[in-house]
């Protein structure tokens, strides 16, 4: 794959590909949308390191504008819980080798079941504070967790966000549905931790 090929949005239409030498002769501005192989979506020119070096741009930090809707967040959560449940079942079924009796096996399956939700909270805290800023489910639907300025969050803030989900759940999940009433699609636990769940801008 040739990564030295860039597609440029000019007058609202993708054009190219161009190499770096050709880009230097185009009227590229810091907010011009550009994409190259390997990128999930278009980015503004100032957000691409080699273009900042080539064109002398400085990185312009802008607040997020595209927030993940409830349906994307729900789908990501379902994917994460499903994957954790699959791993849980594999571990439990493996333990059946040493457990005899139907009743004992049933108890071995059900008693640790709440651990799924605890594991999800811990896994989510580490994953959302990582470089990818997302769990596997979020990555699959192309959303991620940031602070209010769009930057990655610390592990401490991620723990606050994930463990604050209890306040979103207790009032009949109203804390989640509150995202429909919030301009930035924040749930109560997002507000508690000053975080956002965002998606990339689509051209």
pLDDT tens digits, one per residue of 1-39: 445 788 888 888 888 888 888 888 888 888 888 888 888
Q: What angle do CA 172, 144, 55 make, to 5 degrees?
A: 155
Say if residue 112 is exposed, middle or buried (CB neighbours under 10 Å; 0-12, 13-18, 19+).
middle
Residue 43 has pLDDT above 90, yes or no: no
Q: What is the pTM of this model?
A: 0.67
Q: What is the C-alpha to C-alpha distance for residues 193 and 179, in angstroms, rounded to an integer? A: 15
Report CA Rg, the chain: 22
The yes-or-no verdict on residue 163 having pLDDT over 90 is yes
The number of residues in the chain equals: 203
Q: What is the pLDDT of residues 94-147, one digit of tens each?
A: 877 777 777 776 776 676 778 888 888 999 999 999 999 999 999 999 999 999
Q: Categorize the per-residue pLDDT at 45 as very low, low, confident or very high, splitting at 50, 70 and 90.
A: confident
What number is the average pLDDT over the span 69-90?
92
Which pLDDT value is given to residue 3? 54
Mean pLDDT of the chain: 86
Beta strands across the sheet bearing 33-35: 13-18, 6-10, 33-35, 43-44
Of all residues in the chain, what percent carry a pLDDT higher than 70? 92
Q: How confident is the model at residue 203 (pLDDT cuts 50, 70, 90)?
A: very low
pLDDT of 108 reads 66
Lowest mean per-residue pLDDT among 13-27, 40-54, 56-70 = 56-70
Residue 67 pLDDT > 80? yes
Dihedral sign of CA atoms 80, 151, 179, 173 in order: positive
């Amino acid at each position: 794959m040739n990564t030295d090929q860039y597609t440029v949005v000019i007058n609202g239409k993708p054009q190219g590909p161009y190499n770096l030498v050709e880009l230097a002769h185009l009227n590229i501005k810091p907010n011009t949308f550009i994409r190259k192989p390997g990128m999930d979506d278009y980015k503004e020119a100032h957000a691409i390191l080699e273009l900042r070096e080539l064109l002398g741009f400085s990185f312009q930090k802008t607040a997020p504008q595209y927030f993940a809707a409830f349906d994307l967040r729900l789908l990501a959560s379902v994917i994460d819980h499903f994957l954790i449940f699959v791993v849980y079942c594999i571990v439990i079924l493996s333990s059946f080798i040493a457990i005899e009796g139907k009743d004992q096996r049933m108890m071995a399956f059900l008693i640790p079941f709440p651990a799924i939700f605890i594991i999800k909270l811990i896994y989510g805290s580490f994953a959302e504070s990582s470089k990818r800023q997302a769990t596997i489910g979020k990555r699959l639907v192309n959303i991620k967790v940031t602070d209010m300025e769009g930057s990655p969050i610390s592990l401490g803030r991620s723990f606050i966000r994930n463990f604050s989900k209890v306040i979103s759940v207790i009032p009949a999940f109203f804390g989640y549905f509150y995202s429909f009433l919030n301009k930035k699609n924040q749930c109560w636990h997002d507000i508690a931790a000053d975080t956002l769940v965002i998606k990339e801008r689509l051209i």
